[in-house]
Amino acid sequence: MARFLKNREASNGRAPGEIVFIGEKKVQEATLKMIDYDNENLLEQEIIDLNESIAFKDTPTVTWLNINGLHDTDLIKKIGDGFDLHALVLDDIVNTSQRPSMEEYDDYLFMVLKMMYYDEAAKQIKSEQLSIVLGKTFLITFQERPGDIFDPVRDRIRKQKGRIRKVGIDYLAYALLDIIVENYIMLIERFGEQIEDIENEILENPSQKILSKIQKYKQEMNYLRKTIRPVREFILQLSRLDSDLLQDHTLPFIKDLLDLSTQAVEGIDSYREMLSDHMDIYNTGINNRLNEIMKVLTIFSAIFIPLTFIAGIYGTNFENLPELHFRYSYFIFWGVLVSVAVFMLRFFKRKKWL
């Protein structure tokens, strides 16, 4: 399936607000897990009956509900009904081709972004859509498949590390966004090291293999840029948001997250420019090699032009060529050819053409 755009045939002709899954089914069955906590208590369990989690909607504790699997539209609709989510929000959740963005509703914030990872088998970056619904006391995350990068956050919750158990639900949302953006930077740094190493390879041996590497890295950087730039935009929007859902003590962390996302975007732009420079160096190296080859061929051609002229004269069939009757005519002929060639080589060196 295409990484930049997804096939939208399934959504053609549907009614507005109708929930249609767009993307690749990555799990057989959707699963739900919940973490509910405050400063003193912690409850972590897998949800079998959705009503069990809905009951935590209005409790004073922090409730984090995580859903793995977006293809089960009936389940997504039940969650939407239980937590009073707008039909357009549910539609965006099951559409895995959504552009990263944030929308503010009366009682909650809705955020869509991508979690990215490097696929060793495919040798490329792949992504998974993550949707976040931030309410007053609950946070719902929708993922395409099990497995994510949030285990450090869960570990901090379980072991009461840092401030996460002492503050509100908005700090949990920040913690998730923070680890996603940090993962972006790790991916950029990974590719950055490889991109920086290419320059030496280009200078030593500008081969077709190097050109393929440059093209591959440019494609990956473009994919990162398409994904990360909108994330920076909505984090900027989030940092300026005047909402009761964001407490004053969380705003400095969000602004720090904005700096981190800006660093990621600037890193991508820097490496994209570096790849363009690598392409210029590669083309220059190829052109220089071609010029050297043409230079040698031109010199040989220039040397053989007068020799061919002389040989052409003495290769004619005229009977009255006096030199043909000399005893040493053949050796004189070769002497003339060699003398002309040596003279031209010395002339080229004096002109610094060689």
User: Could you read off the pLDDT of 95-115 as tens digits, one per residue?
Assistant: 998 899 999 998 999 999 999
Q: Pick 154 or 312 by higher pLDDT.
A: 154
Rounded Cα–Cα distance for residues 265 and 269 (Å): 6
Residue 246 structure tokens: 């964001």
Whether the pLDDT of residue 208 is over 60: the answer is yes
Rounded Cα–Cα distance for residues 4 and 223 (Å): 7
Supply the pLDDT for residue 36: 93
Tell me the pLDDT band of 256, cut-offs 50, 70 and 90.
very high
Q: What residue ranges define each of the domains in the chain, with the CATH number in brackets?
A: 9-284 (3.30.460.20), 314-350 (no CATH)
Own/partner contacts of 311-315, CB < 8 Å, gap of 24 or more, are 311/337
Tell me the pLDDT band of 324, cut-offs 50, 70 and 90.
low
Whether the pLDDT of residue 320 is over 80: the answer is no
Instruction: Work out the average pLDDT over 41-52.
Output: 88
Q: Which residue has the tokens 């660093």?
A: 263
Residue 197 structure tokens: 């190493």
Whether the pLDDT of residue 51 is over 60: the answer is yes
- 171: Cα separation from own chain's centroid: 28
Q: Pick 213 or 203 by higher pLDDT.
A: 213
pTM score: 0.80
Supply the pLDDT for residue 12: 55
